[in-house]
Chain A
Amino acid sequence: MRLLELSRVSVVALRVVRQLKRDRRTIGLITFAPILLMILFGYALSGEMSGVSLGLVDYGGHAILKSHLEGTKDFNILYLGSESDAEKLVSEGRLNGAVILRPGEVRVLLDATSLQISNAIQAAIEAGASRERASLQEGPENIVVMRFIFGYDLEMMDTVGPAVLGLVVFFFTFVIAAISFLRERTLGTLEKFMVSPLSRVEMVSGYVLGFSLFTLLQSTTTLLVVTLGFGVPMRGNPLTALAIVLLLGAGALVLGSFFSNFARSEFQVVQFIPLIIVPQIVLCGVWWPLQSIPEFIRPISYILPLTYASDALRAVMLKGASITDILYPDLLALSVFFLFFFIAATLMLRREVA
């Protein structure tokens, strides 16, 4: 008997689709929740800043600008000896930005992944520079140079949109898959499968196939809302973006299937959310750049699939990256994650169910 027969896989897939199709509330949830989350993350989080850490390298001149920055109460100023120190600290995410003052020139290094912060820094410098111009009517012209260490000139929604897309797909697929597999166990259908020609690989594959249709539906609507509704650019191929989301969704499905083994009820599945989902949100590098995450936690970021998915999605949507640009490390990491948990989930569907 063959281990993997497509007809049986499609029988399982068709059944999964039929079941989900009948569950209107879930369909509504997976379609509209992304829009709600988008609004929440995109707008509610773009409030006022305080405690912005700004490096200052003083090579002379610009006393008025300097005192203006020092007087801005939102800023914690760190005095640095050289421009290279400043650049290093900004790159590592320890500083939100740095100002290098030279006679006749002001260089600003910005971490634009947090738009609210970089906007606040820019605004303060503009204000300080114009005060300086007003008091020194004569003298050398000041040149203000802005350098973005990360990101482009983006709006908050642009940087957040692709990650929210990945997040909602991951979240819903994980939870629905974990509950579906748990039901197979409690309904006794899993045991019945074990005494049928259906292999474990076929069963998990059928689920992946069936769920992919819903992932496709969900990611298409979310993409449309993100691009048309919120004006996030789609510089790359939308199909590449969908492929990333499908791969992420498949990973979430097998992860959900794997974790369903450790839950005895749907209530216990919900308890996995803080354990599985929240770290991904926090550590995926969207709200806080990876560079700002302490080094001892950073390895966790690098094993979480959402880190790679949001990186790849941002590359495709914002930079117009093609599929070959994101093969390494993003697509490779997502594929490894999927394969690892596909095997783990299959092995957990042991014959000996007792």
Chain B
Amino acid sequence: MAGNGDETAVSARGLCKSFGRLRALNDLSVDIPRGVTYCLLGPNGSGKTTFIRAIAGLLRLDGGDLRVLGEPVARVKEIYSRIGYMTQHRALYPDLTLQENMEFFAGLYGIERSESERRITRLLEMVNLQEHRSRLAGDLSGGMYQRLSLACTLIHEPELLLLDEPTVGIDPMLRQTFWEYFDLLTRQGKTVLITTHLMDEAEKCKIVGYMRSGKMAAVGSPEEIKRLAGLRPCLELWLKEPEKDAALLRAEGYEIQICKGVVQLRLESHEQIKRVLAKVNPLDMRLKEPTLEEAFLRLSEAS
């Protein structure tokens, strides 16, 4: 795990941060590669937001080494124009119009007027707010407000996006749009770091870091995490004589459960399916992959 500045967007070694007696970050070490969507997942109080704020340079760490886009975090102020940060508060001015809000943030980053006009149009289209351009932000609905906040965060085209619960209060259709946009950003080599408590969102990320008690409990692709949790796919079989066939399969050493007449069988590997079908002849069957949620429940119980 070499923390190479060129390939790693964020490299953390032994981060510690306490708030009074609460240890928010407890010897946290992780590498976040560039050009991926990276999801920080974990129960409330596991240190996700603290970690994001540490990366943003908003916290004084008690210890550890943190590098952001190759720079030590102490100098992160110098690369703020390359970082986009969306807080859980939506950080907009309700008494300004959408256009004015975006102009303001563009101005902070010194973006020229014609260029900022172009970007505002493009981003408002992306978040589907173009026709509300001259409305006051305070008059927007919760989801719209959220979208505007994301648009403002993207105005300076940052290399590293820190998004703290970005899709809260957004309808599923639009959430899909967000994810497509995140994919587009990562294809351009940008890094998107997201905290979420939604498992289906985590599942869309390239890498998931599961945090517990201020440290990384598990890191990997969603599939790797599931394997790590010891979860296996489940084969559901609809059989003519479930009790009899179940006994047959149990005799072969399979782990079997019967639920409402459906025989559920835990697979060690997908090759086992053939062997099972050689023994029984189901009316219908379905392969159920474990969800990330199950994996984290398992991991939480384990630790």
Contact = CB atoms under 8 A, between A and B. Distances in A.
B247 to A, nearest CB: 60
A191 B58 CA distance: 8
A295 interface: no
B104 interface: yes
Interface string B49-64: 0000100111110000
Contact of A188 (B83, B88, B109, B162): B88
A195 B56 contact: yes
B59 A187 contact: no
B89 A191 contact: yes
A194 B58 contact: yes
Contact of A197 (B58, B92, B110): B110
Given A5-B110, A19-B96, A197-B108, 8 more contacts: A1-B77, A187-B92, A188-B88, A188-B89, A191-B91, A192-B91, A195-B80, A352-B60
Contacts, number: 82
A19 B57 contact: no
A23 B95 contact: yes
A196 interface: yes
B89 A187 contact: yes
Contacts of B81: 196-197
Interface majority SS (helix, strand, loop, mixed), chain A: helix
Contacts of A193: 108
Interface string B85-105: 101111111111000100011
A192 B105 CA distance: 10
Contacts of A5: 110
Contacts of A1: 77-78
Interface string A243-287: 000000000000000000000000000000000000000000000
Interface of B: 19, 53, 56-60, 77-78, 80-81, 83, 85, 87-96, 100, 104-105, 107-110, 136, 162
B100 A192 contact: no
* 3 smallest beta-carbon distances between A and B, as pairs: A188-B89, A11-B107, A188-B91
Contact of A19 (B83, B89, B92, B95): B95
A198 interface: yes
Interface string A12-24: 0011001100110
Contact of B58 (A18, A187, A198, A354): A354
Contacts of A23: 95
A8 B87 contact: no
A73 interface: no
Interface in A3-52: 5, 7-8, 11, 14-15, 18-19, 22-23
B63 to A, nearest CB: 16
A196 B109 contact: yes
A196 B76 CA distance: 10
Contacts of B78: 1
Contact of A187 (B19, B80, B91, B110): B91
B56 to A, nearest CB: 5
A22 B95 contact: yes
A235 interface: no
A196 B89 contact: no
Nearest to A183: B93
A131 interface: no
A291 interface: no
Interface in A187-221: 187-189, 191-198
A22 B139 CA distance: 14
A73 to B, nearest CB: 58
A195 B108 contact: no
Nearest to B107: A11
B96 A15 contact: yes
Contacts of B94: 187
A306 B83 CA distance: 44
Contact of B108 (A11, A187, A354): A11
